[in-house]
Amino acid sequence: MHKNSKPVDRLVRIIEDFPKLTITVLGDLIADEFLYGEISRVSREAPVLILRHRERTVVPGGAGNAIYNLADLGVTVLPVGVVGEDDAGRALLHAFRQKHISISAIRRIKGYRTVTKTRILAGTTHSPRQQVIRVDQEPDAPLDRSAVRDLVLKTRGYARASDALLISDYNYGAATPQIFELVRSRSTLSSIPVTLDSRYRTLAYVGVTAATPNEAELEEALRTRIGNDTERLMAAGKAVMQKMRLNSLLVTRGRDGMVVFTRGAKPNMIPIYGSDEVADVTGAGDTVIATYTAALATGADPDSAARLANYAGGIVVMKRGTATVTRAELLRAVMEG
């Protein structure tokens, strides 16, 4: 038997177990809008390019992208979040229905503005399109008590029937540390993995099982600078593990790969999978936490879960726009890798 057959077989078995899983996702649902145009000419009114509109697409971003990734990995996913009764909100719900994802716990709020990130991409007929500007539309007010209570109750209910809970916090109010505490206070979350991807306040979620910050978020959380200093990276990871009482911590490092910290074990550095000449990093963190969560939910150890997340991240950054990784793509990468 080949010396690498056992690790490969273990990863394959984990992927094959994905369709047996049910995972709840509590998070900020974002509409990622892409406007594509061809460069027509320079405007007479100002020194700017005029684009001839060619195409518009809207896909789930933020927690929605994590949800989409789980679905494409074969997982039954139960999303909990809010959208507005607007075009972006309707587009998100339509996208979920297309993948047969339940929308019964997504609350539609009249007068609420669905978080929308509009990226305008320009190019010529024979050149790749490049992002020239991004316009963000955000809610005008925080969620009211009724909406928060609804999020808590629905998350509690879903978590009881799930193999894991994924929290995707983009700081828009649907997945706050306070909501997590309310969910945890009357739930049996101790029996399932609870994973966290929080853009600005990772350390506020004491009690989750695992977190997946990137290196910049780790630096911001600890108010430190890591740079290329491996000793500082290791010290920072250990500090977060202790502060949050985590079972594991997965830190993504771009072209430097990942490092996974596991309670009671030495940190493990994982080199990048694939080319470091990436096409687009949009949403890569959502793919990583989706894959990592699914693997942990099967009972996989953090090292194996991190290796699968690394494969998934390496695949998705070679795709343009907000993209996902399918179960078949992940299996193929593991077998070939």
- Residues acting as catalytic residues: 286
The residues near 246 (Cβ < 8 Å, ≥ 6 apart) are 208, 209, 210, 211, 240, 261, 263
Residue 279 CA to residue 67 CA, distance in Å, equals 22
Residue 310 CA to residue 307 CA, distance in Å, equals 5
Q: Are 274 and 318 in contact (CB under 8 A)?
A: yes
List C-alpha distances in Å: 8 to 86, 283, 292, 335, 336: 46, 26, 16, 7, 10
Q: Are 165 and 192 in contact (CB under 8 A)?
A: yes
List C-alpha distances in Å: 125 to 40, 80, 134, 312: 11, 41, 22, 31
